[in-house]
Amino acid sequence: MRFLNRWIIGMLSLLCLMFLFAFEAAASVKVKDMRLGNQPDGARVVFDLNGKPQYHVFLLDSPKRVVVDFDDADIEQLKTRVSNQVVAGARVGTLGGNDKRVVIDLSRAAVVKKAFVMAPQEGLGWRLVVDLAMTSDGNFKTQLGDKYTQTNSTKKPEDEIKPIPTPTYLQEPTPVPANSKIRRKRIVVLDPGHGGKDPGAIGSYNKTYEKNITLEMGKELKKILQNKGYVVYLTRENDIFIPLRQRIKIAQKHKADLFMSIHADSARNHSATGLSVYTLSDTASDQEAAALAERENKADIIGGIDLGGNTKEVNDILISLSQTDTRNRSSKYATYLVQEMSKSVKLVRNTHRFAGFAVLKAPDVPAVLLEMGYLSNRTEEANLRTPAYRKKLGEAAARAIDRYFTDPEIASIY
């Protein structure tokens, strides 16, 4: 009898252990959260997990969406009302057995550039990373089907994906239309040039200090833009000296959508007149990308882009791509700025110019440098000292900023 009791207890213990192992196997991985980040050419989706996942990632059309299937997983309540320049929202569903599905709705055509698992490091747990690259509608359609599924699963894809089962949703969020995004106020950082021990150019006739004119202009433009609903910061509010690199960091700290450095010119030829606009040159940008890659902590250089775990060569390419995208957006704003200023004031020939100004070299913030005119010219020095003239310049700059943020290509980013 005692032997029988021991046998029964042993069998019960064995069954309990088998149950626990079965339960553990049935829910071996827990998907804890999902995060989004913008990339220069698309977006990054990161799933936080408590273990190494088995996954399938593939595209579906009508509507455009990315599907991420997890083998033997539990999913906690994910944030489904999410969006960025590529993603419009997300849904969660269950497949056969204990498999789970996350459907990522796209606001524009994109393909899966790569999907990979990252092991725990630096305080972060397991992660599944899915990088999406923006593309044309035509190219999107060529990436559909099992052939383009990215997976590390031992299951045969056709067993799971053909035919694609209709998911039973764990939660039924209100669908997020592709064109309905939460509109945040645009952030503009204005940089009054020079200051403190650095007076900048000095007027040839009234000894006007450039540092004073640029500060007054910055304050005037800030007021105009705030009245239009923008969030505006000045790199300096008074007569202080700020190093050029620090001005870039101020723009990055405030997560600026646009940066404009304000200056006044000077020339030996006192008859020289006209306003000009500068953006970063291609050559200066490429050289700066290489220098930044060597000198700076790359994780802090490009906002929204995870450079951790990449090789130096890959990071250099990412920084260069970011600068190319930023430089293109800078040129777009410069074009609008020239067009609007031409309605109000005299411009120099070839108004949009290119140079390697340090304050234009943030790889993640579109930036222009405005030269308002020549303090070496009697008329322009007198004009720049006049509040009404500075207001006219500010209103033209504000119209250009409005046009920039409503440009379809720019608006689609936010």
* Ordered structural domains, the chain, with CATH: 28-169 (2.60.40.3500), 187-411 (3.40.630.40)
Q: Are 350 and 278 in contact (CB under 8 A)?
A: no
Distance (Å, rounded) from C-alpha 43 to C-alpha 133? 7
Q: Which amino acid, one-letter code, is at 147? A: K
As a residue count, the chain comes to: 414
Q: Using pLDDT thresholds of 50, 70 and 90, give the confidence band for residue 311.
A: low
Helices (H), 166-281: 210-227, 244-253
Q: Are 288 and 97 in contact (CB under 8 A)?
A: no
Between 351 and 23, the more confident residue is 351
The answer, yes or no, to whether residue 18 has pLDDT greater than 90, is no
Q: Are 74 and 95 in contact (CB under 8 A)?
A: no
Burial track 270-285 (b if 16+ CB lie within 10 A, e otherwise): eeebbbbbbbbbeebb
Q: What's the pLDDT tens digit per position in 57-102?
A: 999 988 899 999 999 888 876 777 777 778 888 888 777 778 889 9
DSSP helix/strand/coil, 183: coil
Predicted local confidence at residue 183, as pLDDT:
60
Predicted local confidence at residue 179, as pLDDT:
46
Predicted local confidence at residue 156, as pLDDT:
56
pTM > 0.85: no
Q: Using pLDDT thresholds of 50, 70 and 90, give the confidence band for residue 414.
A: low
Q: Using pLDDT thresholds of 50, 70 and 90, give the confidence band for residue 307.
A: very low
Q: What's the pLDDT tens digit per position in 353-411?
A: 877 766 677 777 899 999 999 999 999 999 999 999 999 999 999 999 999 999 887 88
Q: What's the pLDDT tens digit per position in 200-248?
A: 999 989 999 999 999 999 999 999 999 999 999 999 999 999 988 889 8
Between 9 and 172, the more confident residue is 9
Distance (Å, rounded) from C-alpha 402 to C-alpha 98? 51
